[in-house]
Structure 1
């Protein structure tokens, strides 16, 4: 019997391509399975809106002049029945357009590919997962003006998706040449800039789903390929061949990650943790694992590719590969090897909570467990979790405030530990991060994490809305030495028993003002919250607290550190607003200024609360000698002496104060 002939390069590429396409199809099917019914049409409609440009549809852009054209149209995009059905559901009044699609079908093809990255189509997908698309284009074909028009179109589609479906869609305009060179722009908003260019590419390769257009050529090369081999294989493709070079885009090779980028990537992830700790915990852990394997290991995306390419070893199983689960297994293996039990427990809980599997809720009769439930159930069994723990994790709404805050602290402690370990390990590597990016991200971190005298600290949260209190009870007790302790408790504890339930205690402070400022800045309460005061002692009334709450929410709302303007963070810190709160704790019969607290915010997102008559004096330059001058406000609690106290305060201070009542 003749020996089997080895496969040619082209045959190998074709086999790999078929497996990649099967995997890509499975990811799309998984994405649609996990999507709420009402969101599914969006998945089909978004590519269509990028493909066409019609005045009756979202994303329409008119060229400013007859010389300019708006880039639209996606390579290899076809009008399938599921697309038509989705369009008719979203735009019933425009059904006539879809009946004769040729009338709006474009001749041009400006977009090489529309590729989805992130948690969609993995176990981490939830009902409110963002859609993060890379809109891949050949930047050399278009002027800056044309690209600006395309960006305008994409932004309009994002806005429509948000307003219509309540889903965050992000289109990242990605020039193929720049991506190949790991150039991702500046670190602002959703863009990672120079902080982690290669890591962003690795993340893209690890989670991408080609929704329409060309596939990244990276998928076809073996997992252990050098840059030279990658180029040789790519150059072997021919137009009209099999595979055809026109089926692919070259976003570049990724052999191994660069330790010099790790520090910037770690800072970036700490920054992201301000908004989404669950995601950042897993990503920060991934950075640490990358670092441990930097000299000999491969990026996770190459491991994923190996599994996809070897799909034939387990027929049909290529569809079962989940990039998120694969990543998680690698992380746990690393931390087990290093005996970090607390870290493992944090990672397990974060994965479970992020995935939102709700294993404690049984399937309805006849319902089949989807892939996510199967994977998460097998994890829970493997980890030795009890049903009691699963029920507890599935019912966060019933957690005490303390339980929520404890998990938040564990998460941020893990993040900072990772960051310190990474910093220590790579201190000898030269950093490649752009200096301005480093400054911006470093200042964000300092604002969020650094402790300073009189600074209002940020609540390091793992949850968002779940810490919000519709009702809150404020209580004050006096210590033997005469000092006051003001405490806040979640809920209305007065009408229940009048006894303060310590498990619902949120925080405490030395003054009522400090307590209220922290509660507002931490998004625990707002003007819709009902504040109850335990009438135990003191001059401060419920009315005073509600007046203060109203002013704080209006003039000193919570700061979103990740959204602080880049230019502000690159410039020297300056005071942006100042609030004098006069005679808040003193006897209301007093007709003179007895007590002054000064609250002020800065352009770096920091808030300070200082006490004493001399504070305004020390801030004179920041309030008086700058342009534009920061607004200054003053409040005196209600009472018979209010106007007299205000008069004395305003006369003693030359600054222009707006009086708040």
Structure 2
């Protein structure tokens, strides 16, 4: 005969389970409760009209068809075909279905998700069947969210792994610390379908989950590291678990909360699992004389409910349930009315809560670090978490993260961003202004150099909600034209996840977001460039630039950093600005080995300026002729990428497209009194030099003679390039006739040999010198004498011959540079003679 005391305990367990389900029904909307009630039937049957049916092959059916809800009736409301097809499954394979976590507790809200454990017998399942079951469960999850907005998650467990407390599905969060997960399951589980748990001691067949294994102090602390990692994004959910693990580490041999829970059930008490856990922790914090931490945890637990519940009526009912569960009787009471108004707190008070959370995490890490050296605590993992804490108050030029992702914030009603003309910065206020803001009276939460930084700050710290917040910018004409795109891109940048292991390596850029604004299109000095850089450490670094040269300085700064891992994004708000397609290529990583003999140059046109980017360096150019000269100063072969899609780009394509031909070319550009020459050869090399207008014809003829000599008489071209404003082909290339090139005033020839002897021929005179300096002084004196007759007599070489071992091996562009070096020395000596 079944023992009467056991029957009483069984009834107490059943009553506690029913009470949890009643609380769950009260917390859920009617539709969500109906969907919850229907779920066991969807797992029990496998008809084609039900979610997840795979030709009848999906594992289904509870071996013991026992259900705590009117599941068939509820499922029939969603699937009327089921009402006539409720015959038992031919092959039932599921042992049980349990919900766990906050389900049916005073802290469950209508926004909470529900975790189900589906329990199997490992002997009756093959791998293909397990896969089909997983797909069926995913289909039911989708059905629940699509039909009723009920977020559920199924976790499949073999009974043997629960008994051993080794959960293979999640080695990081459970693994060898499965005892923690098992303790939570036995304390919070709600029986839904299938076999009841054996610790209820019922008469019917049941399943035995086994005892909770004991862990050592360092094992508990190691599990605490996992929860601490989660707490950086969701502290409300993790802080209580962190406190439990710290208390278990301090008292590893004492009873666990789940054991106390079932003892109280036997005494006729129906404890709320969360209230019981608070009571358990209150005893711990009293022993270590840290009652204020318990008070803080109570606040976080209550705020979790405030954060999740959108309906004021449901929030009020949740509060009543929490009070009825004797929440205030555990430890010291807290001011619930004050916490109810969290969304009306001043911003600085919310920031203060975030600081308290950070200090709590620091204290937890400090306690764990005192056990460093034990086998279970990974020092590198502890070091990464320590770094995360420090980064929350990194300081310097980073976007401040002063809240956590689940610190409640539904967005401010209004955010006003005001330009402070006297300081040339921007101010952020949470006030609404009916007219022009009074800077002396307004309450400023933050200030920044650019408008974009304040928008990013508001998004990063949960102040901005696009569905609720009225974002106002003063003056309104300074509002970016692409404001929505800026907001979208900032949200995506913030949401990007980085790898935790990167905290062990030096921080570097992960992705750049570059925003260019031009609030006054006619005033280039009003330009503002804001750079938000997500780093591999998860920080968002900020850089700001202002003025006409903002883009060039920004590119110079960023190119001094390692290239980012993710493609750089640009938002260019001005009417005229650089081509984003060209800018995107600047920070792209090139997996191909860099050709050291080739200078790959990107040309970024920014309004009327050009920015040359090559090998991590930038050059700002103001006019086309200066651009031509700068291109000729790069050594080696020149490869242009990202040519401007305008008339200047067409001109450059015409010039540098010639490098693929077999002929060298000289191009002459003239603007005002300055003449620029550009020499290109058939290998893609180039050289440039400048001359005064009066001297240009001598210069060109001498250099033409020299190139002709280097090419051993092979033909090459000379062009005069002229800009014709308003014409269809703005840049005109006209060939310079040979008659203008063939004659020179006087031949000036230098012959070098390997011993350093220089043979100089000037006109009909040939003189040998034993040094370059002596040769240059001699030529300078001869030219000075010649200028008494012709004051424009040029110091240009018409011939420069190299030693035999170098002849024919030096590119014409390098030979031209060597010739110009000698001419410069002669010119310098000449200036000293006058």
Instruction: Give the whole-Å Cα distance in 2 for the aligned partners of 1:657 and 1:140.
Output: 64
Determine if the alignment matches structure 1 residue 615 to structure 2 residue 557.
yes
What is the aligned partner in structure 2 of residue 231 from structure 1? Answer: none
In structure 2, the CA distance between the partners of 1:403 and 1:467, relative to structure 1 (3 Å rule), is farther
CA distance in 2, matches of 1:267, 1:123: 28
Map of 1:374 onto structure 2: 324
- 2: CA distance, partners of 1:327 / 1:458: 31
Equivalent residue for 2:513, pick from 572, 576, 579: 579
Superposition deviation, residue 135 in structure 1: 1.2
Q: Which residue pairs with 1:177 in the alignment?
A: 160
More helix by share: 1
1:599 aligns with 2:532: yes
Higher strand residue share: 2
Q: Distance in 1 between matches of 2:94 and 2:387?
A: 35
Q: Is the 8 A contact 1:123 1:355 kept in 2?
A: no
Q: Note if 1:268 corresponds to 2:214.
A: no
Query: For 1:652, which of 588, 605, 613 is the aligned residue?
Result: 613
Which stretches in structure 1 are left out of the alignment for 5+ residues? 1-6, 64-68, 221-241, 312-316, 624-628
What is the deviation of 1:101? 1.3
Matching of residue 48 in structure 1 with residue 5 in structure 2: no
Does the CA-based 8 Å contact 2:221-2:246 persist in structure 1?
no
Pairing partner for 1:101 from 81, 86, 101: 86
Query: Is residue 477 of structure 2 the alignment partner of residue 489 of structure 1?
Result: no
Aligned to 1:638: 574
Which residue among 177, 195, 201 is the counterpart of 2:182? 201
SS of equivalent to 2:95: strand
For residue 217 of structure 2, the aligned residue among 250, 259, 283 is 259
Identify unmatched segments of 5+ residues in structure 2: 545-552, 580-604, 617-640, 645-834
- How far apart are the structure 1 equivalents of 2:189 and 2:336? 31
State the distance in 1 between where 2:118 and 2:436 align: 56
Q: Which one of the candidate residues 430, 433, 444 is aligned to 2:375?
A: 430
1:60 and 2:53 aligned: yes
Matches within 5 A, 1:158-557: 158-185=141-168, 192-194=173-175, 196-217=177-198, 243=203, 246-250=205-209, 252-294=210-252, 296-308=253-265, 310-311=266-267, 317-318=268-269, 320-355=270-305, 372-376=322-326, 379=329, 383=332, 389-424=335-370, 426-431=371-376, 445=388, 449=392, 451=394, 454-461=397-404, 463=406, 466-469=409-412, 471-477=414-420, 486-493=426-433, 495=435, 498=438, 505-525=444-464, 529-535=469-475, 542-544=478-480, 547=482, 550-554=485-489, 557=492
- Asked if 1 retains the 8 angstrom alpha-carbon contact of 2:518 and 2:573, the reply is yes
Distance (Å, rounded) in 1 between the aligned partners of 2:501 and 2:82: 45
8 A Cα contact 1:199 1:257, kept in partner:
no
CA offsets 1:463-494 (integer angstroms, 9 cap, x no match) = 55624235311135488xx6x65432225345
Post-superposition CA distance 1:510-541 (Å, at most 9, x none): 54343333333334336665432344xxxx95
Mapped pair 1:147 → 2:135? no
C-alpha spacing 1:580/1:179, structure 2 compared with 1 (3 Å) = same
1:23 counterpart (16, 32, 38): 16
**Highest Rg: 1 or 2?**
2
Distance 1:485 1:551, change over 3 A: closer
Change in Cα spacing, 1:517 to 1:39, as seen in structure 2 (3 Å) is: same
**Structure 2 CA distance, aligned partners of 1:26 and 1:458?**
42
Report if the CA contact (8 A) 1:443-1:604 is conserved. no
Aligned residue runs from structure 1 range 111-126, under 5 A: 111-126=94-109
Q: 1:53 to 1:289 in 2, by over 3 A?
A: same
> May I ask how many residue pairs the two structures share in their alignment?
580
- Specify the SS of the correspondent of 1:472: strand
**CA 1:283–1:140: 2 relative to 1, 3 Å:** same
Whole-angstrom distance in 2 between the partners of 1:264 and 1:18 = 39
Q: Distance in 2 between matches of 1:583 and 1:497?
A: 23
Pick closer, same or farther for the CA change 1:200–1:524 going to 2, 3 Å: same
- The answer to whether the Cα contact below 8 Å between 2:343 and 2:408 also exists between their aligned partners in 1 is no
For each residue in 1:181-235, what CA deviation from the matched residue of structure 2 results, as whole angstroms up to 9, or x when unmatched? Answer: 33334659xx724374221111111111111122444666xxxxxxxxxxxxxxx
Aligned Cα root-mean-square deviation (Å): 4.4
Note if contact 1:581-1:598 (Cα within 8 Å) is conserved in structure 2.
Answer: yes
Deviates more, 1:284-293 or 1:329-338: 329-338
Shift in alpha-carbon separation, 1:461–1:27, aligned structure 2, 3 A: same
Deviations 1:235-285 (A, max 9, x none): xxxxxxx756x41143x3214333233333323222332443222222222
CA contact (8 A) 1:184 1:193 kept: yes
3-state SS in 2 of match to 1:253: coil
Q: Deviations over 1:1-50 (max 9, x none)?
A: xxxxxx99x88766644443333233223322333333221221112212
Report 1 or 2 for greater relative contact order, CA contacts < 8 Å, sequence distance ≥ 6. Answer: 1
**What's the secondary structure of 2:154's corresponding residue?**
strand
Q: Secondary structure at the match of 1:458?
A: coil
CA shift digits 1:345-376 (9 cap, x unpaired): 31232233334599xx999xxx9997544125
CA distance in 2, matches of 1:35, 1:352: 18
TM-score by length of 1: 0.74
Quick check: 2:415–2:470 contact (8 Å CA) kept in 1? yes
TM, length-normalised to structure 2: 0.60
Question: Taking structure 1 as reference, are residues 593 and 164 closer, same or farther at Cα in structure 2, changes over 3 Å only?
Answer: same
Secondary structure of 1:652's aligned partner? strand
Residues 300 and 485 (structure 1), Cα distance of their counterparts in 2 relative to 1, 3 Å cut: farther
**Aligned-residue offset at 1:114:** 0.9
How far apart are 1:423 and its partner, in Å? 3.3
When structure 1 is superposed on structure 2, of 282-291 and 79-88 the one drifting more is 79-88
SS in 2 for 1:601: strand
Counterpart Cα distance in 1 of 2:182 and 2:142:
26
